[in-house]
Structure 1
Amino acid sequence: MHAKPYDLQALLYEITQAATEGKVDAQDLTRISGLVLDRLGCATADEAWERLYADWKGLPRSTVMSGMRAGQILTILPMLRYHQPVTDQERLGELMREADTHGPGGSWGAMVTAVGSTAGLQQVESPADMEAALARIEQSRVALPPGSPTRDALDAMHAGLRAHLAQLGGGEDDFDSAVEDLARLRDSPVFDLAARLGVDAQLAVFRSHQAVRREDETALAQHIHELESVIAQLTPDHMDRVGMEANLDVARANLEILSARREGRLDRDPSALGSAAPTIDEVRRQIALLPRQGQADRLGEAGISSIARTLLAGDAQGVLEAMRLLQDALDLLEPDDDRWIRNAFTLGTGHCALAGMAGAPRADRARHLDQGISWLKHTLRLSGGPAYPLWNTIGMALASAYRLRGDNQLFNARATCLNHAESRRVGLDAVRAATWSVLLQSGTAHAAETGRRAGEQALDVARWCLADGAYDDAVRALDAGRGLVLHAATVAATVPDMLGALGQTGLADEWRAAGDVVPELGPEAALAARPAGSGPSSRLRRRVLQALAASPYRQRLLDVPTTADICQALRAMGRAALVYLVPGGDGVPGTALIVSADGAAKGLRLPQLTVSARPLADYRAAGAPGRTAGGPPTVTTPQPQGPAPDGGRAALERLCDWAGSAVLEPLVKELPRGWGRAPSVVLVPMAELGVVPWHAAR
């Protein structure tokens, strides 16, 4: 049987014409992507890819014809990817090199680069592959005049890829600069009205992520309004409607969470969410109109947003329905796909949440918890290690699930002990892995934001350890959390030496050339992907970390001081003990965790040591006169409105009295001392306790 003949140039013309007639509704996308399979006479995207590559391979190489044909295949490839991933990097590299070397070049080559690079947005690739796509765009844009439509198209693609890479790899400075570049290009003539509406939606989603990260409720509410405005202008079957509604639901849920935390509410107000999503049946109807990979994307987005909404509303049946969307998405994906990992993680957290939800049948709760733990274990294993941006989050979810299962084993002490031990182990690994995220950030502000979140997690794990009497583990958790930003700065100073010792002189020179101060970016510097701040960009940091992580220096990157290290330092300084002051919370009383110079670690219960203690709350309400908070901050505690009636001075005096009676008086009785000598200690106050002037306690 003879293969159906085809003409790639004619096919590209047909695609262009079909796109101008409409590529807005889901069925339009399915129709256009199906057109490619029909013209090639193939039943599947794999079959079409194999035929295109084999036919190209049969052409004479290093000719204008082979270069043009390679570029045409790369231009058509995104249409195939809507049906099925095409991940053969070796063959793709061949086509790219042939198109670059022997194609017509100029604006033709630039557009081939731009269209071919959409692969990085359609399907999550490795950071190295995405860096290669960015490099091709940077090379192609050089010959194009500033402000030209083709150059703006390349710059927009570059910004989208950088944002995608930042989300994949965890570089917040890359993400922020990419968002600003996309905003700058928003009014470019390269976008028609429909495309500009999509840019507005993407900007609103990206900026809502930034607002959540910064815990900025006002900005988040504004970006929710912007996204609502875009959705109101879409047709009911618009190809992106389900995804936008899902992102809107997530943003609304995050706004309610931020509001509840600020107000000190443990409950959530379902009525405040105002769900944007249609019924599950309507979501499935809209998704069914899309090609296979589009269905996988939208099923995952709708499932994740639905779980967030139904969990806040305490709707157990809604959680089950949302999890079925995620399971359908997983059926369309391969386990090595990043989307599989994210969907499986959310599915695992949904099962774990049902285990503690009042609306779930009691007989099913243990089964849900076991299933949740299984999903999270598998997801953590597939994510590969600390370099994966969700590794820390998945680890903390799994540690919390083990903790819950241990707490539920009321009549099996051994099972409780084993599950609690596993929760500590996984939690400590997750906190330790947060070091990677902080090291990746460029600039103090981004590192501090990441370090703050890691500090909150470290405090949670430390409290588990204290409750279990595992004091050495508690020391590891607290020290990992409190010194992340300082540790990152210390490691950064030694990076060139470590790279030089590994023979990575080129990377070392790049690191030195990046310097300490990053200049402001203008339109011409947009592709540098480095916002105003300090230090090398996250893209450079990612490459450096990958080199160091595969070397003996890996331990220096991630390890924190051990109890033995602390004891050695105490003896060298002539101090009797290092004392962590841990505020009470999560059912664990306030504790002074004492590490003595002789190597012993023990906990001293201090029931009055809480961040909600009245003297501390009054002092903070009065403006904490003369003091600023220290230590790793955590979630803001509810504060009384207005200053204390008798002013800041009286509040300070009461705080010093409280610090002495509630903490230092019982602590001094526990500290080791020599004959005739008062103990000399190092105090490490955690969370909001850093605002207390402990040296003035009485």
Structure 2
Amino acid sequence: MSDLAGEAARILRLQADLVRAYEDRDLAAMLAGPGRVEELRSRFGPDSSFAETLTGLAVAARFLARLASGDAAQVFAALDDIEATMATLPQDSLTRKRLQDMVRALVPMRGAYERHVRPTGDAPPVRLLDLDKLRYHALFDDVPPIERAARFARLAQIVGAMAWEYPGMTSIEIGDLRHAVDAAPPDDVHLPLYLTRLGEALVRRADLIRSRTGRLRLMESGLRPPERTARRSEAEGIATLERAVETAGGPGAPHWAIAHVALSRGYRQAGRRADARRAGLEGLRGHAWRVLLQSHTEAATAALKYATTDALEVAEWHIEDGDAEGAAAALDAGRGLILYAATEMRTIPDRLRAAGAADLAARWPDGPLDGIPGELRKAALRELSAPGGLLDPPPVAEVRAALTAVGAEALVYLVPAGAAVIVHRDGPTDILRLPGLDDPPVETRRPSDSTREIVPEAPDSLAQLCDWAWRAAIGPVLAAVPAGRIVLVPVGELTRVPWHAARGEGRYAIETHAFSYAVSARMLCRTTNVSLDGPVLIVGDPDTGDPARDLPGARAEALAVRDIHPGARYLGRLADGTASPEGAGTPDEVLSWPGGILHLACHGTVREGTGAHDTSYLKLSGGRLAAERLVTGRATTSPGLVVLAACSSSVSGRGWDEAFSIGTAFLSGGAGAVVATQWSVPDEATGRLMVRFHRHLRTMAPAEALRRAQLDALPEAPSAWAGFVHYGA
């Protein structure tokens, strides 16, 4: 093959890979696209005969990467990138023409977004003339059926955004979507999406007709549709959504989740409650597939954008209908999916062998999880996606077995909508109505670049939060679970509340009950064993290169903990500030620890984000140890207990996944139990608490040892002890 033919073949392969990534919604491949194009451009050089083609491909790859991020503002910001590239190309360039087509489609969509979805006050109106031009091109341009369908679908997306302000345009949106569905060939991978959006629009129109506000707004538009029109529109919408589900394929299909959840909403509106719950749970399996498919944390974050909100909505339906076990399943289906994916990917070879797919198991690489090819992931998921398998939360019987293993009485989901779903170890799962939960006073508890220094809330603010926690939830929960240990799974904003420090009736909750926290029932079932046998590693105030942020209290704490565990290895700095002869306390030293107990007294940081950067990490000597590294790297250490005496080590900064933190990431790597913090903890008080904890640890399990240490600290302010939480066994 000539060099020219070889270059063309490489470009065509890359184009095909990007198209396949888009059609499969392989977000990791979409995010990796720009880097692959730039690598190809650097290899060919600026004088290559394909330089112009690669320029266009680079723009398209950057657009797909922004699309994968799930951030609409970033997607529409790509217009500036496209227009800047167009300015560098000749007027008669084919690449320029293709970019012009992208601009023509995106400009009205951006206008609709800025004016009707995210009003800016000065956004220009979307001109109907522009929409008519787009419709004309969609109807009469000589383009393949797939492109014609895509044009009508983009047009409907613009009109749909406008319909929220001008309800009369819903019928226009429906008309454009009908054109998209009619134009799409049967093998168009986007047909299920077009059907879903058409079904949603038809159901929405029925709801609009029936609502008083909708009737008034439609009357203002000169429309007076009768009730039978609403019934007809709703019935057609549900039938269309059922067709979307049938067309979508299995849970691995790109539009499986969105089609099922849309159908469940249609059923709910039509009063078919049992069907709505069933379809909703089925749709959540698709979200699990999408997250498990991704090869790195940024892509997984984008994949779960709607998983948590969809799961909460489906759970609320079950709660409303009194289906406690279904509510627990729905809540768990959207919880901690990044961590669950990391945990399960490490077990895939064993699962495949148990399923009789030894050949597939043999192909599974031994390296980091982010090196597993997407096609191999998909093949494994197809093999393991039967109902009750990898995509589904554990059944109640398995959760009860896990509760028995860790010595707990109940697993309690705290739901922002105003309820607790309680899975009892002995007895039926039930629902406890808690109307006070819908407005938690936690605005000041958002992730920040925190350090182990002071508590960000004023003492009286924390005290008020503890009082609210008792009134809103813990008082009634303790009445329902009168004795023993409780495992809490708070959802959404409720993850930021120190429920174990709830105060009422003259006492704190931990005075009568032991509390643990869990990422999800899935993760609890994977962390039911803890062994403290083995060596102990203690890291005390490692030198991070920032002398202004020394932690003398952490240093004293670590040295005191070393004295409690004779023979422990000590890394970091000694009392005089010099480095320990046993080691500086680097990330690699921590990750290579073989087991036993791992105690880190150091700085912790949380930064909000959804991209490729680290969001939750410990500052160690020579660099950081991030949650992102723990969940994508091959597990090299599985301590029985990890103690993170560092700020905000149980706080998530990763977008829509409130369960993702440096603390919980250790669980995904195989740790049996983790002690971590909910906010920026005070240096000296933390040292006192940790010394008490390790003394109690000599005679009792981690959960009870932490509780006893916190009881010892009750004479101090809650800021001295309430920030510490226990996960696992």
Report the TM range for the smaller structure's normalisation.
0.5 to 0.7
**Residue in structure 1 matching 2:34, options 158, 171, 179:** 179
For structure 2, the 5+ residue unaligned runs are 209-213, 219-223, 504-729
**Residue in structure 2 matching 1:389, options 245, 248, 254:** 254
1:323 aligns with 174
1:286 aligns with 2:114: no
- Tell me the number of residue pairs that the alignment of Structure 1 and Structure 2 aligns: 481
2:671 aligns with none
The alpha-carbon deviation at position 183 of structure 1 amounts to 4.3
For structure 1, the 5+ residue unaligned runs are 1-105, 108-143, 261-267, 407-418, 518-533, 585-589, 628-642
Matches within 5 A, 1:545-624: 545-549=381-385, 555-584=388-417, 590-610=418-438, 612-613=439-440, 615-620=441-446
CA spacing shift, 1:473–1:269, aligned 2, 3 Å: farther
CA spacing shift, 1:220–1:338, aligned 2, 3 Å: closer
The alpha-carbon deviation at position 378 of structure 1 amounts to 0.3
1:14 aligns with none
SS of aligned partner of 1:478? helix
Greater shift, 248-257 or 309-318, is seen at: 248-257
The residue type paired with residue 352 of structure 1 is V
Cα deviation code 1:478-511 (max 9, x no counterpart): 1222243343233322222333456645533331
Matches within 5 A, 1:133-532: 144=3, 150-185=5-40, 188-190=46-48, 195=53, 198-199=56-57, 201-211=59-69, 213=70, 215=71, 217=73, 219-220=74-75, 222-227=77-82, 241-250=100-109, 260=118, 272=123, 274-275=125-126, 279-288=130-139, 290-293=141-144, 296-314=146-164, 315-357=166-208, 358=214, 359-360=217-218, 361-363=224-226, 364-406=229-271, 419-451=272-304, 453-501=306-354, 504-513=357-366, 515-516=367-368
The residue type paired with residue 496 of structure 1 is P
Scaled by the length of structure 1, what TM-score is found?
0.61
The residue type paired with residue 333 of structure 1 is A
Inter-partner Cα distance in structure 1 for 2:66 and 2:320 = 37
CA spacing shift, 1:365–1:194, aligned 2, 3 Å: farther
SS of aligned partner of 1:334? coil
The alpha-carbon deviation at position 430 of structure 1 amounts to 0.8
The alpha-carbon deviation at position 248 of structure 1 amounts to 4.2
1:685 aligns with 490
The residue type paired with residue 162 of structure 1 is D
The alpha-carbon deviation at position 335 of structure 1 amounts to 2.6
Inter-partner Cα distance in structure 1 for 2:450 and 2:428 = 35
1:660 aligns with 2:515: no
CA spacing shift, 1:299–1:559, aligned 2, 3 Å: closer
The alpha-carbon deviation at position 455 of structure 1 amounts to 1.9
SS of aligned partner of 1:338? coil
The alpha-carbon deviation at position 428 of structure 1 amounts to 0.8
The alpha-carbon deviation at position 461 of structure 1 amounts to 0.7
The alpha-carbon deviation at position 160 of structure 1 amounts to 2.1
Inter-partner Cα distance in structure 2 for 1:241 and 1:691 = 47
Inter-partner Cα distance in structure 1 for 2:160 and 2:363 = 48
Cα deviation code 1:579-610 (max 9, x no counterpart): 110002xxxxx111122222312222222212
Cα deviation code 1:409-451 (max 9, x no counterpart): xxxxxxxxxx121111100111123221122111233334434
The residue type paired with residue 64 of structure 2 is F
The residue type paired with residue 245 of structure 1 is R
Inter-partner Cα distance in structure 1 for 2:331 and 2:468 = 24
The alpha-carbon deviation at position 288 of structure 1 amounts to 4.9
Inter-partner Cα distance in structure 2 for 1:651 and 1:159 = 55
Matches within 5 A, 1:39-78: none
The residue type paired with residue 142 of structure 2 is P
Cα deviation code 1:81-111 (max 9, x no counterpart): xxxxxxxxxxxxxxxxxxxxxxxxx13xxxx
CA spacing shift, 1:197–1:318, aligned 2, 3 Å: farther
Inter-partner Cα distance in structure 2 for 1:696 and 1:159 = 55
Scaled by the length of structure 2, what TM-score is found?
0.59
Inter-partner Cα distance in structure 1 for 2:245 and 2:299 = 25
Inter-partner Cα distance in structure 1 for 2:26 and 2:447 = 35
CA spacing shift, 1:163–1:193, aligned 2, 3 Å: closer
Inter-partner Cα distance in structure 2 for 1:276 and 1:227 = 22
The alpha-carbon deviation at position 195 of structure 1 amounts to 4.4
Percent identity (aligned): 29
Matches within 5 A, 1:626-645: none
SS of aligned partner of 1:482? coil
CA spacing shift, 1:216–1:288, aligned 2, 3 Å: closer
CA spacing shift, 1:223–1:181, aligned 2, 3 Å: same
SS of aligned partner of 2:270? helix
Inter-partner Cα distance in structure 2 for 1:464 and 1:626 = 41
Cα deviation code 1:56-77 (max 9, x no counterpart): xxxxxxxxxxxxxxxxxxxxxx
The alpha-carbon deviation at position 302 of structure 1 amounts to 3.6
The residue type paired with residue 454 of structure 1 is A
- Asked if the contact 2:205/2:230 (under 8 Å) is kept, the reply is yes
Greater shift, 650-659 or 616-625, is seen at: 616-625
SS of aligned partner of 2:133? helix
Greater shift, 392-401 or 154-163, is seen at: 154-163
Cα deviation code 1:622-667 (max 9, x no counterpart): 989979xxxxxxxxxxxxxxx99xx544432322221122221222
The residue type paired with residue 682 of structure 1 is V
CA spacing shift, 1:653–1:460, aligned 2, 3 Å: same
1:695 aligns with 500
- Asked if the contact 1:163/1:179 (under 8 Å) is kept, the reply is no
More helix by share: 1
- Asked if the contact 2:27/2:302 (under 8 Å) is kept, the reply is no
CA spacing shift, 1:393–1:253, aligned 2, 3 Å: farther
SS of aligned partner of 1:387? coil
Cα deviation code 1:210-229 (max 9, x no counterpart): 34x2x484x44532332455
2:375 aligns with 539
CA spacing shift, 1:241–1:303, aligned 2, 3 Å: farther
SS of aligned partner of 1:603? strand
SS of aligned partner of 1:683? strand
CA spacing shift, 1:352–1:623, aligned 2, 3 Å: farther
1:39 aligns with none
Inter-partner Cα distance in structure 1 for 2:403 and 2:356 = 37
More strand by share: 2
- Asked if the contact 1:168/1:389 (under 8 Å) is kept, the reply is yes
Inter-partner Cα distance in structure 1 for 2:489 and 2:115 = 33
SS of aligned partner of 1:455? helix
SS of aligned partner of 1:356? helix
The residue type paired with residue 396 of structure 2 is T
Q: CA RMSD in A?
A: 3.6
Inter-partner Cα distance in structure 1 for 2:59 and 2:448 = 42
The residue type paired with residue 365 of structure 2 is R
Inter-partner Cα distance in structure 1 for 2:51 and 2:328 = 57
The residue type paired with residue 653 of structure 1 is A
